[in-house]
Structure 1
Amino acid sequence: MKKNISFFFIAICCLTFLGCGAYKFNTGNVGNAKTIQIDFFPNQSTLVEPTLSQRFTQDMQDLFLRQTNLTQVPGGGDLRFEGEIVDYRVNPMSATSQQTAAQNRLTITVNVRFYNRLKEEDDFEKRFSFYSDFDANSQLTGGVLDAALEEILERIIQDIFNASIGKW
């Protein structure tokens, strides 16, 4: 009897792990699409971070190529992304008793146009935005800037992925 219960328990565990392996929440449904085109996203905000456009575009290409089986092409892709960085700003967020900022917030907003040549009803134009807070005594350079950009760009690009391919 104990052998039967042990066997049953092991069988259930194996089926559970095998069943869960079939689902991946970080991949999207690309349908019949085979190629993707991600155009350069220029920085058109009033405050310009020199490396932001290149970093955003490269990070977006990397994520889509990592999480899908699409092939990147320079033109004529089944799925196409274009747009621009429209806002890059730093605002004070909280004050100290001396009426100075205790924390600042970097906010980045990207306007994205998505085109699906195979399913045009999925096309959209949308703005995606996220922020990162940092100590007001810190300069937004070096490691502070890198950490903020990593947090913001990861979130914005994942939101774009979810809106376009993830269908969230």
Structure 2
Amino acid sequence: MTSNRLKTTRRRALGLVALAVLPLCSGCGIYSFNGTNIDPAVKTISIQTFQNTAPNAPAYLAQRFTEDIKDYFQRNTTLKLVPRDGDLQFEGTIVAYDFAPAQIQQTGGLPAAGKNRLTIQVQLRFTNTKNNKQDFEQTFQSQKDFASTQDIATVNNDLASVREITRNIISDMFNKSVANW
């Protein structure tokens, strides 16, 4: 066998070994294909209902946000959701729901909103009972622009747009807490 053929054969064999070993590592807590980095000792998660202190937020937002974050973690981890005292604990508050002009333009010589922006902020307290070095408190924020013809009532009734904003926040919370990004 020539030297190049031998090298090619060795590379293929190493590649096959890597393919066989990789799935074994995905469940061991070191790395998984969904990007999480969860200690194998962590088995449960508790997510308390997020409170809503934002004066302009619609009444449904706190419950919808809480259910969406639970769904997200259940879809993307193997952690068992428990009512309280989970190995990982999430609690927080929706602190801002601001609808304001985002782009000013001149209309008939007067300044007017060209676009409006909805900004949502959520304050999170994350506790990892297995490793308190990973505990944190942080405010997460996302926003979306809307046409100037849409008022706050129209935006509040556009559930898909509001959920798009909250999904971005949930994704950031997930990445910070269990993906260590």
Task: Output the amino acid matched with 1:34.
Answer: K
How far apart are residue 147 of structure 1 and its match? 3.0
Q: Distance in 1 between matches of 2:58 and 2:35?
A: 31
Which residue number corresponds to residue 124 of structure 1?
A: 136
Matched, 1:52 2:61: yes
How far apart are residue 161 of structure 1 and its match? 0.5
With normalisation by structure 2, the TM-score equals 0.78
Which residue number corresponds to residue 26 of structure 1?
A: 34
Larger radius of gyration: 2
How far apart are residue 42 of structure 1 and its match? 1.2
Structure 2: runs of 5 or more not aligned: none
Matched, 1:153 2:166: yes
Give the direction of change, closer, same or farther, for the CA distance of 1:24–1:144 in structure 2 (3 Å limit).
Answer: farther
Aligned-pair Cα RMSD in Å: 2.8
Matched, 1:69 2:81: no
How many corresponding residue pairs?
163
Moved over 4 A (4+): 18-25
Q: Distance in 2 between matches of 1:164 and 1:47?
A: 28
How far apart are residue 154 of structure 1 and its match? 1.1
Identity across the alignment (%): 39
Structure 1: runs of 5 or more not aligned: none
Q: Distance in 1 between matches of 2:149 and 2:125?
A: 37
Conservation of the 8 A alpha-carbon contact between 2:58 and 2:156: no
With normalisation by structure 1, the TM-score equals 0.84
Task: Output the amino acid matched with 1:128.
Answer: F
Give the direction of change, closer, same or farther, for the CA distance of 1:111–1:142 in structure 2 (3 Å limit).
Answer: closer
Q: Distance in 2 between matches of 1:145 and 1:20?
A: 43
